[in-house]
Amino acid sequence: MTEGLTPDQVQINQLRTMLDSQIELRKVAERLYNEARDALQRLATLTNPGAMEEHIKASHRGTSVLDVGELGRIAETGHREKISDLQIALTVDPQEVDELRQEIKRLQALVDRRQAFAPPTQAEEPPGQVFAQTDVSTSVSSQTRARANWMRFPSPSPTLPATPVNAWPEWAQRWRDGSGNFDRDVDVIIVMGDTGAVRREDISTFLSEWWDVTPKSGSINRALARVRDDGLVETIPSRRKTSRHPRHLHRLTERGRDAYRLLRGRDPVPSLTTELLKRHKSPEHAMLNLEAALAFEEAGGSVDLLPESIQLSSGSYRPDLVLTTPAGEVFYVECERGTYKNPEKRVRKWELYYEASEGRFFVVTEGKEDRRTIKEEIEAWAGDRPLQLWVPNIAEENWIWYCPMVSLGVE
């Protein structure tokens, strides 16, 4: 109320009101300033702890001498350093990224492989069973394609070849111009050159992922036929006694390897087909080794498909396979077919095998008759020697889960 007040008194009251408002505003501003300063100090401590520690050491008043502007600059510097560190961390070699992706695929394949081969339900396992049914998860259908630990993974085909097309030799120009689907033919060469894959199943697994088709797609068969007809891929038939259908070993020809060099600018990996045929007597024996190794891998084991020779006191011995079971047991594995063999060499073979394996024979056969023949041969050779013997028939369904041990020479 201003009634009865002189003009001077009214003016004084107005000034007092304005002063009270300014005091209140100042209190609010100081509170907001202190809150902002505290927030900036916490931020600066988080982002640039080294600088804050230096200020604490430099003055007994610590960081209280820093105003908002200084705290802001310290926090900004810390942010810039962290962003720079992050940029450096994110700046990686594309080849390293690709290698990491391949490693992720390999690890995923290992997981898939251990889930892929579901053993049948069985009340009791045979005595001396090498693979326990609990070794493998049954959560994924056995239709899932497993990949062995020696199987490399291919990188995507190059957008442009390493060697410019106009510098290609005449045969390569004809291949490029005459192919019904050159891009897919290139993919076949890249997969085989990157992986050294042997079987159609393995080649088609990679191609089906790239082309978004099923592994049994006719487009894969047609591509394989084209590169074979063009002389880039060799197909070597392998027949199993118990099957009418041949199984094939595949590898790049010399011209196919040259095609890979034009595309990638480097040599292809060694062909597993070539390595297997160097070691084994026939394509059938090579395929038996490969299929046994894959079965062991699918059941959760680890296999050396191309083991080195072992020096023994009585000579040198090289097993067909070296198997490490999920339980960590190591077996030297022989893969045997019922073909004629020199008797003297057979005796020598079993003697070396006996010494290397310390009396534990794991011999994979490919048919019922072969199994009987090989088992009788080993039993006759063993005589009174103590021997643990496994002789599975790979042609039998679920053979790896029903592989009992026979003890010889033990009362």
- pLDDT for position 316: 94
- The β-bridge partners of 36 are none
| Amino acid type, 410 | V
- pLDDT for position 185: 95
Please classify residue 253 by burial: count the beta carbons closer than 10 Å to its beta carbon, then call 0-12 exposed, 13-18 middle and 19+ buried. Answer: middle
Of residues 130, 133, 129, 109, the one with CA closest to residue 119: 133
* Cα Dmax for the chain: 139
153-268 maps to CATH 1.10.10.10: yes
- pLDDT for position 59: 60
- pLDDT for position 153: 85
Please list, in sequence order, all residues whose beta carbon lies within 8 angstroms of the beta carbon of residue 82, skipping any fewer than 6 positions away.
47
- pLDDT for position 84: 61
Distance CA 135, CA 137 (A): 7
- pLDDT for position 260: 97
Confidence (pTM): 0.65
Distance CA 164, CA 168 (A): 7
Helix axis angle for 272-279 and 283-298, nearest 10°, is 110
Domain ranges of the chain: 7-90, 92-142+272-411, 153-268
- pLDDT for position 187: 96
Here the tokens at position 143 are: 């239709």
Residue 209, phi-psi category: left (phi > 0), alpha (psi -120 to 50), beta (remainder): alpha
Which CATH topology does 92-142+272-411 take?
Trna Endonuclease; Chain: A, domain 1 (3.40.1350)
Residue-by-residue pLDDT tens, the chain, 411 positions: 556 678 777 677 777 777 777 777 777 777 777 777 777 777 777 777 777 677 666 665 666 666 767 767 776 776 666 666 655 555 656 666 666 666 676 666 555 555 444 445 544 555 566 666 544 443 333 333 345 566 788 989 998 999 999 999 999 999 999 888 999 999 999 999 999 988 998 899 999 999 999 988 899 999 999 999 999 999 998 877 666 666 889 999 999 999 999 999 999 999 999 999 999 989 999 999 999 998 898 888 899 999 999 999 989 999 999 999 888 899 999 999 888 788 899 999 999 999 999 999 999 998 899 999 999 999 999 999 999 999 999 888 888 877 778 787 655
Here the tokens at position 135 are: 């070794």
Distance CA 226, CA 190 (A): 15
Would 92-142+272-411 and 153-268 be classified into the same CATH topology?
no
Of residues 102, 86, 190, 204, the one with CA closest to residue 153: 102
Q: CA gyration radius for the chain?
A: 37
